[in-house]
Chains A and B, each alone.
Chain A
Amino acid sequence: MPKTDNKKKNIKEKVVDLKKVSAIIQKNFIVMTRDRIRLLPLLLFPIFMILVLGFTTGNSPKHIPAAIVSFDNSAMAENIQQQIYDSQTFSVRYRVSTEDEAKRLLDSGKISVIIEIPPNLGEDIDNNIPAQIIIIVDESDSSISATSNQALGAIINNAATSITIQKLEGYQQSVSAAASALGNFAGNQQNQYGIIAQETSDAGSYLDSAQSFNKQYSNELTLSLPSSSPILIAANSTNNYDTYNNNLTNVSSPNIIYSESPVATQIKGQIAITQKFGASIAVANGKVHAAQVIATQANKNQQVLQQNYDSQVRKPLITIQTFTESSAQNIVRPLSVEDKAAYGSSGLRAIDFLIPSLIAMTIFQGAVMGMGRAVAGEKRDGSLTRVFLTPTSNTTIISGTLLFYVLFELLRASFLIIFSVIVFNIKIQGSLFLIALILILYITISTTIGMIISSVVKTEQQFQAIAMLISLPTMFLSGVFFPLQAMPKIMQSIANFLPITYAANALRGVMVKALPLQMISYPLIILLIFLVICITCVVTVFKRDIE
């Protein structure tokens, strides 16, 4: 027989024969229905779990007997005490004045909790000194301890919040007053500038009129002189004072000709007057010029001020106003916990969130253990050997066996969901198709894991041991018994490697929150990766070798 290469050989061992797959499924179905004793715990165990958890979760202890020791009579202390009285969690049986007295009550079992309000509570809070309320709990009942702490925590939190709100409201008022003062001041400033600008402008126009008066006066003076008067020539030659002045100086030279004549004397007097008058015109002109410059600058300044006022005063003012208008409560508690239902309006309970995890958990147990019987058990009693002796490929045996258990677990999951719907009135919010999709994926992974284990072990006892190793973490990290968030980091990271974490997330998302496909795509993708790995593993480790 010639040697062929390893890749090509024995292709028939890899072909899935669908007829045989259906024969295997039917065979397993008959075996399963015949083995009623095995069927019973598979259904009763999860029902028991659902019942126990359904009736216990969400029912934290109420009316825990408590005593209050208060060393403070402030309104604040009274307020907190009132809230404790009003709380459903505590039933205040005693108000005592010393801690020792309260402890005796605790020791005698008459109360389970002591709540101690320290002296000067109100005063400290008013002075911004942190204050603490003490809680002493009978630790023998952990649920009481947890609930008391939680309930008191909520009360204190409420009180702390209202104190903060009150203080904040005080700040708001001061800020508001400051804002209006600032606004007024800015307004006044603006007005002042306006007045200055107006006055400057007025000054300019006043000086203008002074100038024109001077000119008019000068004209009149000119008209009163004879037309040949050198003064007139000089005056007519220019409107400019400097040239005028020079011409006037030239005019003085006939001084020599008309000296001592009465006319000359008169002219001299006129010249002197005119000179003085010209000088006053020049000064007036200079002042007008300066007044105009000042007025222009004042206008510009006013425009800049107008622009800056918007950005530097008005906007901050609006911000301050918005702050004072918004409720202090929203600022103090931008996030809050509501007791009301978060999803839908139906008022979901803890059990609604628990059922998906519970189903995921029981399915895993059932699928893994079922495989123990299907492979390890059939190995033991030799019936698997008998199947191996027929011309049936490994892949056909794997497919047939897996498919049957996938169908069976799917039925079981549906049964449990229906049971939960009937008994606990669980409402399925999301798409049934998505639920089925998640279940099929997850069940296939679970059964495949069972098959991998049962393929690598030699006996059913070994199977039990290894299956326990995987199903116990799955059970405890499923979140059914303990919240995962309450576990140490290492446990939480182990949970990241368990398919149940993703299956329960996706299931919860669809069942409780009615999430659409794209919102659960992350867990679904992780589950798909699990599936590919598991199928690859099972095809590799599932061998005929009966050693």
Chain B
Amino acid sequence: MVNNIIEIKNLTKKFGNFTAVDNIKLSIREGEIFGFLGPNGAGKTTTISMLTTLIKPTSGTATIANHDLSEESVDIRSIIGVVPQSFSLFSELTAQENLTYIGRLYNMDAKEIKSRSEYLLKQMALFEHKERISGVFSGGMKQRLSLAASLMSNPKILFMDEPTTGLDPQSRIAIRELTEQLNKQGMTIIYTTHDMEEAEKICDRIVIMDKGRIIADGTAEELKHKIMSGHMIEVKLESEPKELSSELKKLPFVTAVEHSGQLINITVKRKEGVFFALSEFFLKKGIQVEEIKYREPSLEEVFVTLTKKDLRD
């Protein structure tokens, strides 16, 4: 049985009349990478800010490693690390000075600070830049330094708030790999993103938030199945066909048909015998099929289906 390291109980945050986080309940297990997904303004960052003691909940509470959120905020801060959305280090200080300062704020002694920062700077490939003013670093370097700063105290739980936003693919991959590596060492990671692919790749479990509420909760697989009533088959034709939808719909196992160019997406009730039946259908019509395959829905489809909108403020 795995312990729940974070227990969120009826957490609510209101800004005036606006409810940013609306009575959420959630448990996060020790050692997992937990993804917070949701469109902009869904309440992800507000939730993270409450869990990291930056803002006080309007009502409800949470425990983090058995520390109460509102009563033991200092204890909580000493066991968590946070990689904020933006850089948020002292751009006038060098990489080394930033880490030293953060280390001192954790009451680490000089020796500890030296060894820990050296280890982290090497791990983040910043060791040769440690005497440079961090303000002139590239986005990727800044984010790696930010990660290093968050890891100075060797936290049990690491909160990462959209850590890869605005980074180039190389940096993104590097951050993702580091995250997985840290997780393997036993660190619980709470990962906020709106990159579905990324979430799907690294998160053990995911919640999708919208308008301050949790609207879905589970593994990526579970979430996908939540929205799918059947299976999806993608048929690629050699040429653009005439209107086929109505005829396809007459087939007993077909529930929906979507048609765009050479591609036809067909939703079916069952998998058995469907490939054969469809091949036969197109053969009869004299239409050349280039490819026919099952297709899993992307997390993005799940996301859009659940949150119903594409554009957010």
Q: Cα distance A544–B86 when bound, in Å? A: 17
Q: Is B75 an interface residue (CB 8 A)?
A: yes
Instruction: State which of B29-37, B46-54, B217-225 sits at the interface with chain A.
Output: B46-54
Q: Cα distance A383–B70 when bound, in Å? A: 23
Mask, A209-253, CB within 8 Å of B = 1, is: 000000000000000000000000000000000000000000000
B92 touches A17 (CB 8 A): no
Q: Cα distance A9–B107 when bound, in Å? A: 22
Q: Contacting B90 at CB < 8 Å: which of A27, A388, A393?
A: A27
Closest to B20 in A: A547
B105 touches A10 (CB 8 A): no
Given known A31-B93, A35-B92, A383-B89, contact A392–B63 (CB-CB < 8 A): no
> Which of chain B's residues have a CB closer than 8 A to the CB of A56?
none
Closest to B106 in A: A390
Most buried by B among A13, A34, A545: A34
B74 touches A12 (CB 8 A): yes
Q: Is A100 an interface residue (CB 8 A)?
A: no
A23 touches B52 (CB 8 A): no
Interface residues of A in 317-337 (CB under 8 A from B): none
> Which of chain B's residues have a CB closer than 8 A to the CB of A12?
72-75
Interface residues of B in 39-85 (CB under 8 A from A): 49, 52-56, 61, 63, 68, 70-75, 77-78, 80, 82, 84
> Which of chain B's residues have a CB closer than 8 A to the CB of A30?
92-93, 97
B153 CB to nearest chain A CB (Å): 8
Given known A20-B105, A23-B101, contact A391–B54 (CB-CB < 8 A): no
Mask, B179-219, CB within 8 Å of A = 1, is: 00000000000000000000000000000000000000000
A394 CB to nearest chain B CB (Å): 10
Give the number of chain A interface residues (Cβ < 8 Å).
32
Q: Contacting A383 at CB < 8 Å: which of B49, B72, B82, B90?
A: B90
Q: Is A381 an interface residue (CB 8 A)?
A: yes
> Which of chain B's residues have a CB closer than 8 A to the CB of A382?
84, 86-88
Q: Is A129 an interface residue (CB 8 A)?
A: no
Q: Is B132 an interface residue (CB 8 A)?
A: no
A328 CB to nearest chain B CB (Å): 73
Given known A10-B74, A35-B92, contact A389–B82 (CB-CB < 8 A): yes
A379 CB to nearest chain B CB (Å): 10
A381 touches B54 (CB 8 A): no
Given known A391-B77, A546-B54, contact A27–B101 (CB-CB < 8 A): yes
A22 CB to nearest chain B CB (Å): 8
Mask, A2-15, CB within 8 Å of B = 1, is: 00100001101100
Q: Is B149 an interface residue (CB 8 A)?
A: yes
Closest to B53 in A: A544
Q: Is A340 an interface residue (CB 8 A)?
A: no
Closest to B81 in A: A389
Interface residues of A in 375-415 (CB under 8 A from B): 381-383, 385-393
> Which of chain B's residues have a CB closer than 8 A to the CB of A386?
84, 88-89, 102, 149
> Which of chain B's residues have a CB closer than 8 A to the CB of A383?
88-91
Closest to B149 in A: A386
Closest to A545 in B: B55
Q: Is B276 an interface residue (CB 8 A)?
A: no
> Which of chain A's residues have a CB closer than 8 A to the CB of B75?
12, 391
B70 touches A10 (CB 8 A): yes
B92 touches A23 (CB 8 A): no
Q: Cα distance A381–B88 when bound, in Å? A: 6
Q: Is B129 an interface residue (CB 8 A)?
A: no
A385 touches B78 (CB 8 A): no
Closest to A378 in B: B90
Q: Cα distance A13–B76 when bound, in Å? A: 12
A19 touches B104 (CB 8 A): yes
B76 CB to nearest chain A CB (Å): 8
Given known A385-B54, A385-B88, contact A17–B107 (CB-CB < 8 A): yes
B101 touches A545 (CB 8 A): no
Given known A1-B68, A31-B93, contact A390–B102 (CB-CB < 8 A): yes
> Which of chain A's residues have a CB closer than 8 A to the CB of B74?
10, 12-13, 391, 393
> Which of chain B's residues have a CB closer than 8 A to the CB of A13?
73-74
Given known A1-B63, A12-B75, contact A391–B91 (CB-CB < 8 A): no
A515 CB to nearest chain B CB (Å): 42
Q: Which residues of B contact A (CB under 8 A)?
A: 15, 49, 52-56, 61, 63, 68, 70-75, 77-78, 80, 82, 84, 86-93, 97, 101-102, 104-107, 133, 149, 153
| Known pairs A387-B105, A546-B54 / 16 extra A-B pairs, C-beta < 8 Å | A12-B75, A17-B107, A23-B101, A23-B105, A27-B93, A30-B93, A31-B93, A34-B133, A383-B88, A386-B89, A388-B53, A389-B53, A389-B84, A391-B75, A393-B74, A544-B55
Q: List 26 A-B residue pairs with CB atoms under 8 Å apart, sorted by A's residue number.
A: A1-B61, A1-B71, A4-B71, A10-B70, A10-B72, A10-B74, A12-B75, A13-B73, A17-B107, A23-B101, A23-B104, A27-B93, A27-B97, A27-B101, A30-B92, A383-B91, A386-B89, A389-B80, A390-B106, A392-B77, A392-B105, A393-B74, A544-B53, A544-B54, A545-B55, A546-B49
